[in-house]
Amino acid sequence: MVRLVYSIIIAICIPFVLLHLLLRGIRSPEYRSRRLERLGFFKAPEQAQDFWIHAVSVGELLAAEPIIRELQTRYPAKRITVTTMTPTSSALVSKLFGDSVYHVYAPYDFPLFVGAFLKRIRPKFVIIMETELWPNMLHGAQKAGCSVVLANARLSGRSARGYKRFLLLLSWLFD
């Protein structure tokens, strides 16, 4: 029920988010050229991806770098997709990993977009960096049979108190 209400709120916000993306694309072409990726529509690799690393921005990506390198060392035949949300972090993926990983912008957290993304990537294992807990992403990954791990997550005392207030609403998210 909570995820349904959340998804309805996201649906109401989508036209404004798309307008913002359009306006941002006028000033910054890197936002315009890959805007459909944020809706889950892109040319995906032909093979299913073994690992999906979700690192929203540069900080999360830098924290994910040693994990990605270790996965590449331990499982050289496995395919890795890295998702980010900003052109800066996208450029950093290219700089750090070149073509050794597949990069795509993370879809906005709406069931249709997440479903389209998962259908194209077909990951087996998801690593979410820090506390980027997106309800529809988690639900979609679970529904697709993916194992999900939260890596490098830190929770301040203040945040813990905030989560505690909404524990009944959020308990499904942490299951």
Residues carrying an active site annotation: 60
Nearest residue to 123 (alpha-carbon basis) of 109, 111, 141: 141
> What is the C-alpha to C-alpha distance for residues 162 and 56, in angstroms, rounded to an integer?
22
Residues in the chain: 175
The pair phi, psi for residue 60, each rounded to 5°, is -65, -40
HEC letters along 130-163: CCCCCHHHHHHHHHCCCEEEEECCCCCHHHHHHH
* Residue 111, φ and ψ in degrees, nearest 5: -50, -45
Which tokens belong to 110? 């709406």
